[in-house]
Amino acid sequence: MAKKAETVNMVDQFAEFKELKNIDKPTLISVLEESFRNVLAKMFGSDENFDVIMNPDKGDCEIYQNLEVVADGEVENKDMQIGLTEAREIDPECEIGEDVAKQIYFEKFGRRAILTLRQTLQAKLLDLHKDAVYSKFKEIEGEVITAEVHQVWGREALLVDEDQNELVLPRDEQIPGQRLFKGDTVRALVKRVDNPNNNPKVIVSRTDPRFLRRLFEMEVPEVHDGLITIKDVARRPGERAKVSVESYDERIDPVGACVGVKGSRIHGIVRELHNENIDVLSYTSNPQLYIQRALSPAVISSMRIDEEKKKAEVYLAPEEVSLAIGKGGSNIDLAQKLTGYSIDVFRLLAEDEVDVMLDEFKDVIDDWVIETFKNLGLVTAKNVLNAPKELIDQADLEDETVEHVMEVLRAEFEN
């Protein structure tokens, strides 16, 4: 009787395991039955003449071996046949040639059989759990979840959700400058689910532009309800972002609704993103107006657009150039990502003032150096000469290289 109790307790134990791993009851019953059958097949050579009946309400299992009734003394295979006298102890009315169901008490096969059953069941449940985790997170890729920081390492942080599923937040998916500590509760976007060797690995992100989209959906009811559409998002995580919004209902101000009264709605998103500065602007299908809004707060004097090449040349007064470029080139970089246009900034000159494109100096300045300046929005000689030092520093060039460039450019105008 003690061994029978052990078997029953074993079933109860795995019922608890099922709760932890989110495996539903019918699946657990199926796995239990399959595990019993696997062990029976190893012990008897086949499980074809066995009936395995799970009793989930009682938490136990009944096993019956179907045997052919033969005359006493004619049993050739005791795993498939049974003598008439023994058979009638089970069913007094049975006859030769019929089948009887003999109940098998699994616990009588000893601890080795029970251990084999445990190991088989654990392996199957583990595989089921992995499949369940992969399917669950694959379905919610691109969605935001809330999790707790469990461990922080140099290259990544380990998070756990409410079901104790492990999530990996790599360093490059963390917001720069934000430190995470064990026990912190954070939100993150399910970026992708890898499944090498059937070992699902859930990668989450706090820098993905979709994360910002989802936060707007969570914080702004009009976005959640579809009254306001987020058209484009561009981010420099932890630093600055630009979001364009549109509403088909003329009664709704999309920018005002997203920002909220005194910034009440946008502040929650800003705090979640470690004080990332967020510019919200109205979307328009007019590329010239869209670029103009994207480059705000700079005021554009004129613009020339090449639709085919997705390129725009923007002309500004000298005092507007630094605003258009932004700190470290952030404003023009985000404007390009938001609009999908490559934007070149030009400073308007006085009538007696001349300027020269940087490309004209390729015979004396390396191409890669010129491209580095152009990536900062400095496309002419006087753009570079008049640029603030902090912007030049963003080029991350050697001091000797910068001085050489400056000497070449100054000499051009002195001549």
Average pLDDT on 43-48 reads 84
Could you tell me if 67 and 111 lie in one domain?
yes
- Single residue among 148, 181, 207 that ends a domain in this structure: 207
What is the Cα–Cα distance from 165 to 202, expressed in whole angstroms? 9
What is the Cα–Cα distance from 309 to 382, expressed in whole angstroms? 26
1-15, 288-302, 380-394: which is most confident: 288-302
In CATH, what number is assigned to the domain containing residue 182?
2.40.50.140
Could you tell me if 90 and 199 lie in one domain?
no
Asked whether the beta carbons of 330 and 240 are under 8 A apart, the reply is yes
Give 139's contacts (C-beta < 8 A, 6+ positions apart). none
Could you tell me if 63 and 148 lie in one domain?
no
pTM of the model: 0.65
- Domain assignment present for residue 264? The answer is no
Confidence of residue 3 (pLDDT cuts 50, 70, 90): very low
pLDDT score recorded for residue 58 = 63
- Domain assignment present for residue 349? The answer is no
Could you tell me if 146 and 200 lie in one domain?
yes
pLDDT score recorded for residue 301 = 84
pLDDT score recorded for residue 275 = 92
In CATH, what number is assigned to the domain containing residue 55?
3.30.1480
Give burial (CB, 10 Å; 0-12/13-18/19+) of 174.
buried
Could you tell me if 106 and 14 lie in one domain?
yes
409 pLDDT higher than 80: yes
Confidence of residue 22 (pLDDT cuts 50, 70, 90): low
Average pLDDT on 15-36 reads 66
Could you tell me if 94 and 169 lie in one domain?
no
- Single residue among 71, 103, 135 that ends a domain in this structure: 135
Asked whether the beta carbons of 402 and 395 are under 8 A apart, the reply is yes
Helix (H) or strand (E) holding 65: strand 60-70
Confidence of residue 218 (pLDDT cuts 50, 70, 90): very high
pLDDT score recorded for residue 1 = 37
pLDDT tens-digit map of 120-136: 777 877 888 888 889 99
Burial 32-46 (b: 16+ CB within 10 A, else e): bbebbbbbbeebbee
20 pLDDT higher than 50: no
Confidence of residue 30 (pLDDT cuts 50, 70, 90): confident
pLDDT score recorded for residue 414 = 77
Average pLDDT on 61-90 reads 89
Average pLDDT on 373-377 reads 80
- Domain assignment present for residue 354? The answer is no
pLDDT tens-digit map of 291-328: 999 999 998 888 889 999 999 999 888 888 889 999 88
pLDDT score recorded for residue 352 = 55
- Single residue among 116, 135, 154 that ends a domain in this structure: 135
Strand spans (E) along 262-396: 277-282, 302-306, 311-316, 342-347
- Domain assignment present for residue 20? The answer is yes
Could you tell me if 65 and 95 lie in one domain?
yes
The CA–CA distances, whole Å, from 164 to 33, 71, 94, 149 equal 27, 59, 55, 11
390 pLDDT higher than 50: yes
Number of domains in the chain: 2
Q: What is the mean pLDDT of the chain?
A: 86
276 pLDDT higher than 80: yes
What is the Cα–Cα distance from 255 to 278, expressed in whole angstroms? 12
Could you tell me if 72 and 177 lie in one domain?
no
Phi and psi at residue 278, to the nearest 5°: -115, 120
Could you tell me if 56 and 168 lie in one domain?
no
pLDDT score recorded for residue 349 = 66
Phi and psi at residue 174, to the nearest 5°: -95, 150
What is the Cα–Cα distance from 253 to 299, expressed in whole angstroms? 23
Handedness of CA 70, 74, 80, 86 (dihedral sign): positive
- Domain assignment present for residue 258? The answer is no
Range of the domain at 32: 2-135
Kindly state the tokens that stand for 113.
């059989």
17-21, 40-44, 166-170, 398-402: which is most confident: 166-170
Could you tell me if 6 and 129 lie in one domain?
yes
Asked whether the beta carbons of 397 and 372 are under 8 A apart, the reply is yes
- Domain assignment present for residue 53? The answer is yes
Asked whether the beta carbons of 49 and 67 are under 8 A apart, the reply is yes
Kindly state the tokens that stand for 79.
């795993």
pLDDT score recorded for residue 59 = 60
What is the Cα–Cα distance from 356 to 370, expressed in whole angstroms? 13
Phi and psi at residue 155, to the nearest 5°: -100, -15
- Domain assignment present for residue 270? The answer is no
The rounded radius of gyration (Å) of the Cα atoms in the chain is 36
34 pLDDT higher than 90: no
Could you tell me if 156 and 57 lie in one domain?
no
